[in-house]
């Protein structure tokens, strides 16, 4: 990208893990990054980057999303790209899961991405791009993760529908389907299930966990001008997890 004319990208779930890696990679490449997160953390130093501005926004709260984009409009900011990374992870047996828990997964993982796209679009020019961050759970099923899998499958449908709808306006929409990466979220999930990170590494053909920078590199490509012929596509960066699952 021509750093003399920096473009603006909005990244949700940017305070840690994959989202933070995406925000840092894009900022290092010359993007002006607006990093969003819901929690009370410190963005793990992300805001110290000279091309990153951090803000507290709950993607499932429409007023917060609408107000955020209204503030960008007031600043005269054009949104050249959107990365919908914010998501809830985890799960439990369906008999133990409450309706409220089920709905929360969809509220963040699907409705959040829909709200961000809806309110970003008036600020997006032709040539803009959206990347939804999905998972191998967007195309496969995993025991005791019904809400997570169903919401990530729904994100694929949203991606394809938006790609078809926004193509005439010159906006591309793709989905990045990730395997197991060494992130705080995976470590928390492993602890909750009494598992070791090595157990997740063994599930992938590569025999290791992914590095968040490997996910951010793929996201960077999907947003870049090197990639103008992918639209409504799924890109799997999963260490071969899906292939290994299919072949035992």
Catalytic residues: 148
Strands of the 172-178 sheet, one edge to the other: 52-56, 32-37, 8-11, 81-84, 129-135, 172-178, 234-237
Three state DSSP letters for the chain: CCCCCCCEEEECCCCCHHHHHHHHHHHHCCCEEEEEECCCCCHHHHHHCCCEEEEECCCCCHHHHHHHHHHHHHHCCCCCEEEECCCCCCCCCHHHCCHHHHHHHHHHHHHHHHHHHHHHHHHCCCCCEEEEEEEHHHCCCCCCCHHHHHHHHHHHHHHHHHHHHHHHHCCEEEEEEECCECCHHHHHHHHHCCCCHHHHHCCCCCCCCECHHHHHHHHHHHHCCCCCCCCCCEEEECCCHHHHHHCC
Measured in whole angstroms, the distance separating CA 35 from the mean position of its chain's CA atoms is 12
Task: Give first-to-last CA distance, the chain, whole Å.
Answer: 42
């Amino acid at each position: 990208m021509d750093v003399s004319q920096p473009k603006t990208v909005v990244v949700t779930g940017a305070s840690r893990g994959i989202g933070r890696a995406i925000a840092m990679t894009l900022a290092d490449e010359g993007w002006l990054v607006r990093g969003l997160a819901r929690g009370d953390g410190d963005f793990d130093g992300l805001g110290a980057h000279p091309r990153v501005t951090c803000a507290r926004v709950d993607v499932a709260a429409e007023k917060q999303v609408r107000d955020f984009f209204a503030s960008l409009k007031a600043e005269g900011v054009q949104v050249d790209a959107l990365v919908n990374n914010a998501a809830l992870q985890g799960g439990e047996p369906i008999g133990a899961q409450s309706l409220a828990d089920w709905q929360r997964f969809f509220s963040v993982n699907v409705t959040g991405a829909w709200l961000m796209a809806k309110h970003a679009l008036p600020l997006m020019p032709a040539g803009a791009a959206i990347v939804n961050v999905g998972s191998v759970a967007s195309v496969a099923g995993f025991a005791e993760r019904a809400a997570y899998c169903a919401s990530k499958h729904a994100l694929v449908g949203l991606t394809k529908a938006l790609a078809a709808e926004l193509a005439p306006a010159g906006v591309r929409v793709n989905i990045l389907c990730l395997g197991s990466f060494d992130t705080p979220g995976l470590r928390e999930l492993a602890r909750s299930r009494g598992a070791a990170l090595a157990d997740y590494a063994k599930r992938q053909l590569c025999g290791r966990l992914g590095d968040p920078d490997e996910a951010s590199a793929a996201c960077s490509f999907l947003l870049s001008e090197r990639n103008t012929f992918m639209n409504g596509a799924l890109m799997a960066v999963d260490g071969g997890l899906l292939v290994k699952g299919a072949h035992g």
